[in-house]
């Protein structure tokens, strides 16, 4: 149990998924690499209000705990961990919703920009490194598809967010894995569990697709590229606060990955840039729809934090930068 003054704090995670538009069927769930559809993409930079005001594409409502989420809780209890539990999951799926606008199929229409929970500068509860945010990569799983060294691409994505700093904002500082313990708060990888707060943001790396099915539900291995778990503190009465305690990120090794965005593969750095945006407190944003008449995919506005991977995107765009400034514009510097 984590104690601060006379108050006790626990952790609960929300879950954010980054989905891919693919042509998938049940044959892909056994580990085959899904084929990627080709779309003619039209990007627009308009950001006006819409008639339906959709937010958080898909999802499990707060308070609903599925059997898969319960399995995570049971696993934590088996390890003797009672300090945190899974109580809420936000999922993002390919949603067909033709009622938004005649002649279009709506996949996502997210307008929140920011997650409800944010980091606290210099937070003693998580042994914060001053006003920095630290990140740790679990080295054994930094290999995608058995041969691709993904760590440089993941590091580069953190550096892209880091480069937005001006007079405020946290330094994103990499710390090395200790070489001996498991930094995960959730998954057992056959090593003794280490310090839960060794890093603020823990990238567990590329996990087999069957783990996504087991933890997130059947079919997840065929559609979920990555998942960012957000653990938030609870107050003395057991109520969730809006203060982040730690983050954990997984990538799905059932997909074909690359470091250069080769057609037919998923660009590691682009997906890491998106997932690390969640780690920094940013939500999905943007409207994604297919025009039924011509099959054109319309994205408005284009952003790293769009809810679906469309093509490689390694540069932060206007909405992404605005979200960063909104959260970290007043973040103190040491």
| Total structural domains within the chain | 1
Q: Is 45 exposed, middle or buried (0-12, 13-18, 19+ CB in 10 A)?
A: exposed
The answer as to whether 330 is a domain residue is: no
Per-residue tokens: 87: 């109580």
Please state, in angstroms and as integers, the Cα–Cα distance from residue 155 to each residue in 32, 83, 129, 134, 138, following that order. 28, 30, 19, 12, 12
SS3 call for 243 = strand
The answer as to whether 102 is a domain residue is: no
The answer as to whether 179 is a domain residue is: yes
The answer as to whether 19 is a domain residue is: yes
Angle, to 10 degrees, between the axis of helix 209-216 and the axis of helix 67-78? Answer: 100
The answer as to whether 83 is a domain residue is: yes
The answer as to whether 245 is a domain residue is: yes
pLDDT at site 186:
83
The answer as to whether 280 is a domain residue is: yes
pLDDT at site 1:
27
Q: Which residue segment(s) compose the domain that 127 sits in? A: 2-37+57-94+113-286
The answer as to whether 136 is a domain residue is: yes
pLDDT at site 94:
27
Per DSSP, the residues of 199-212 read -SEEEEEEE-HHHH
Average pLDDT by consecutive 10-residue portion of the chain (334 residues)?
30 61 34 45 50 40 49 68 52 33 58 84 93 97 97 98 86 96 90 92 94 78 81 75 87 92 88 92 80 72 84 91 93 81
What is the pTM assigned to this prediction?
A: 0.82
């Amino acid at each position: 149990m984590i104690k601060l003054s006379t108050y006790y704090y626990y952790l609960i995670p929300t879950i954010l998924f980054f989905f891919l538009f693919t042509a998938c069927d049940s044959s892909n769930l056994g580990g085959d690499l899904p084929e990627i559809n080709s779309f003619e993409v039209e990007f627009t930079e308009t950001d006006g209000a819409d008639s339906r005001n959709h937010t958080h594409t898909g999802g499990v409502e707060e308070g609903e705990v599925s059997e898969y989420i319960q399995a995570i809780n049971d696993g934590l209890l088996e390890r003797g961990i009672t300090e945190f539990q899974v109580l809420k999951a936000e999922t993002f799926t390919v949603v067909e919703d033709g009622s938004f606008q005649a002649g279009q199929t709506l996949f996502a229409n997210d307008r929140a920009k920011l997650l409800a929970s944010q980091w606290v500068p210099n937070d003693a509860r998580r042994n914060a490194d001053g006003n920095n945010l630290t990140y740790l990569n679990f080295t054994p799983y930094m290999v995608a598809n058995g041969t691709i060294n993904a760590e440089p691409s993941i590091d580069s994505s953190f550096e892209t967010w880091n480069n937005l700093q001006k007079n405020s904002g946290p330094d994103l500082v990499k710390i090395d894995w200790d070489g001996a313990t498991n930094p995960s708060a959730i998954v057992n990888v056959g090593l003794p569990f280490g310090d839960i707060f060794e890093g603020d943001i823990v990238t567990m790396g590329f996990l087999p697709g069957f783990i996504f099915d087991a933890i997130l539900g059947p079919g997840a291995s065929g559609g979920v590229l990555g998942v960012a778990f957000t653990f938030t503190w609870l107050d003395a009465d057991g109520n969730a606060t809006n203060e982040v305690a730690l983050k954990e990120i997984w990538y799905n090794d059932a997909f074909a990955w690359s470091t250069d965005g080769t057609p037919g593969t998923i660009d590691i750095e682009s997906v890491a840039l998106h997932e690390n945006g969640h780690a920094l407190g940013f939500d999905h944003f943007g409207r994604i729809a297919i025009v039924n008449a011509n099959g054109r995919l319309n994205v408005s506005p284009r952003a790293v934090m769009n809810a679906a991977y469309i093509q490689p995107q390694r540069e932060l765009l206007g909405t992404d930068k605005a979200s960063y400034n909104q959260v970290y514009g007043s973040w103190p510097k040491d």
